[in-house]
Amino acid sequence: MDRSRSLYGPALRYFAAVARSGSIRSAARELNVASSAVNRQILWLEQSLGHTLFDRLARGVQLTPAGEILRAHVLRTFADLEATLGDLDALTGMQRGTVRIASVESVTESLLPDVVAAFRRHYPGIHLHTVLTGSEQVVEAIIAGEADVGFAFEPPEDPRLAVAFHRDLEIGAVVRPGHPLTQLARVSLSDCLSHPFCFPSSDLSLRKRLDIALSDGGFPPGAFVEANSLKLMRELTRSDNTVAFLTTLGLEQELVDGSLVFLPLADQPLKRDRFTILTSAHRSLGHAARAFFEHSMDALRARLAMIDANSAS
């Protein structure tokens, strides 16, 4: 159990565990206490607050609207205390602490492993908790206090978010060497769709851009591949003449060694996809999270410089 949660009484800790697992029994196993003890604390909390926090279902429990509000408060409270504990640890050299990271796949493919490795060399006592998810879920995790630092594309304008860094990345068609599209001086989306293609799934920011560009003509007839995995899309381009639609982030090595070719798309709505590093506008980063954030910024600037150099050559 981390220190922030151990400093709070059992009611909020038990509530958080039940909300996380969706089951009193599962929460009891996690907490290593009796189910009856967890249930008593939940009932006491509901009586004290004057609100029902969970709907009791045949299998498990589900948060009520009041429970959702309390859950958001508990997450923010634990996150703020974790940041405070990190500040206290900084007084003795920052030997402990936790950094929670939510990231899209393209960052975990290339940038994040290097950032984590460099950070661990400097701060081996800091616990890093990383979740791989879609951009919308990254935003939700930052707002809810479930993550300290988020890597996402095209976040919404929201006063609860702080966009610490952004960079517009070019969108292109990714193909293997020798693909017919490589013979064209200018590649459009319609050119790409005359070949077998793989579209990002609807939860990815790139798909929203593609859907806007296709709003007039729509998809061509016939089946196509749809995926939410950068790795799968990348491998499909290698195995046959499939066209994938990506930015260069996460493809640096393949573009350097020539195993894949990136062809910028000429369609105006598809020019750029905004990559961002997000933090909360309402919570300051603790020392551990701040150190990780700064490592991330340095690594990202170096990686984008490499992308720019490869594009210019």
Measured distance CA(231)–CA(81) in Å, rounded: 37
Per-block mean pLDDT, blocks of 10 residues, the chain (313 long): 54 86 88 87 89 88 90 77 65 68 86 86 86 89 88 89 87 92 90 88 81 69 78 85 87 86 82 86 81 84 72 59
Identity of the residue numbered 107: V
Residue-level pLDDT at 267: 79
Question: Cβ(243)–Cβ(176) under 8 Å?
Answer: no
Measured distance CA(65)–CA(305) in Å, rounded: 46
User: SS in 3 state form for the chain?
Assistant: CCHHHHCCCHHHHHHHHHHHHCCHHHHHHHHCCCHHHHHHHHHHHHHHHCCCCEEECCCCEEECHHHHHHHHHHHHHHHHHHHHHHHHHHCCCCCCCEEEEEECHHHHHCHHHHHHHHHHHHCCCCEEEEEECCHHHHHHHHHHCCCCEEEEECCCCCCCEEEEEEEEEECEEEECCCCHHHHCCCECHHHHCCCCEEEECCCCHHHHHHHHHCCCCCCCCCCCEEECCHHHHHHHHHHCCCEEEECCCCCHHHHHHCCCEEEEECCHHHCEEEEEEEEECCCCCCHHHHHHHHHHHHHHHHHHHHHHHHHHC
Measured distance CA(154)–CA(163) in Å, rounded: 11
Measured distance CA(92)–CA(243) in Å, rounded: 53
Residue-level pLDDT at 174: 94
Residue-level pLDDT at 85: 66
- Between helix 24-31 and helix 10-21 the angle, nearest 10°, is 120
Question: Cβ(271)–Cβ(83) under 8 Å?
Answer: no
Residue-level pLDDT at 54: 92
The 10 Å Cβ neighbour count of residue 144 is: 16
